[in-house]
Structure 1
Amino acid sequence: MNTTRHCLATDLKNNPELIEQYKHYHKPGNGFPAVAKSIRDAGIVEMEIYLIENRLFMIMEVDDSFDPIAKAKSDAQSPEVQKWETLMWQFQQALPWAKDGEKWLPMEEIFKLTEQP
């Protein structure tokens, strides 16, 4: 199976209590099962989220079936995913350079060890 890595970033509101609540929602068993299913069904093989201060960094490993446009359309039609997204927006804030409606923004790869001499 071929996979591709996608790296994205967004911010949390800079409030320690909100950050702790956000972390709590992302512990095993505390999320919405329908959201995890929608992620897997979209061809996302693995997803990890890392935090430093209030900046979030997401790594997604996706298979060849992954289509971000189809995923966005499917998410928009899922009441459970929309409920989750609304809940998460209580904790998240768009990056300063994000356009209206943008949350997780793709990051540019600038270094890869295996490509170095």
Structure 2
Amino acid sequence: MKRYCLALDLVDDAQLIREYEEYHREVWPAILKSISDAGITDMEIYRTGNRLFMIMDADETFSFERKAAMDASNPEVEKWEQLMWKYQQALPLAAQGEKWMLMDRIFKL
């Protein structure tokens, strides 16, 4: 089992943030399936202001490259991702088109 932590910003607009959270209260079944099929065993997203923090646990079959390839061949995931871009904005240090950015652990108790 491996844990990944990622960050992303939302557009800083209260109405859009409410809409984004509403979508995440009822995530489409195809999206949940794609997450599980990629080897992700647990996922949580937290928000403060317009900053998102994702904690993701994955099994040994998971890789970001494999997940990206699976997503690219899944029209429902592509539709979801395009919809989510209405609400999301890249972190200031992100490369062009980069969304969720992997964070480095700097402390563990």
Q: TM-score range by the shorter chain?
A: over 0.9
Match of 2:106 in 1: 110
What is the aligned-residue identity percentage? 56
Gaps of 5+ in 1: none
Query: Could you tell me which of 59, 71, 74 is aligned with 2:70?
Result: 74
Amino acid corresponding to residue 4 of structure 1 in structure 2: K
Query: Could you tell me which of 76, 98, 101 is aligned with 2:97?
Result: 101
Match of 2:9 in 1: 11
RMSD: 0.6
When normalised by structure 1's length, the TM-score is 0.91
Secondary structure at the residue paired with 1:26? helix
Amino acid corresponding to residue 11 of structure 1 in structure 2: D
Deviation at 1:59, TM superposition (A): 0.3
When normalised by structure 2's length, the TM-score is 0.98
CA deviation vs aligned residue, 1:23-64 (integer Å, no higher than 9, x gap):
00001xx22111110000010000000000000000000011
Are 1:49 and 2:31 counterparts? no
Gaps of 5+ in 2: none
* Number of aligned positions between the proteins: 109
Match of 2:20 in 1: 22
Deviation at 1:77, TM superposition (A): 1.1
Structure whose CA Rg is larger: 1
Secondary structure at the residue paired with 1:45? strand
4+ residue segments displaced more than 2 Å: none
Are 1:39 and 2:39 counterparts? no
Q: 1:61 and 1:12 mapped to 2: Cα distance?
A: 23
Match of 2:57 in 1: 61
CA deviation vs aligned residue, 1:8-28 (integer Å, no higher than 9, x gap):
00000000000000000001x
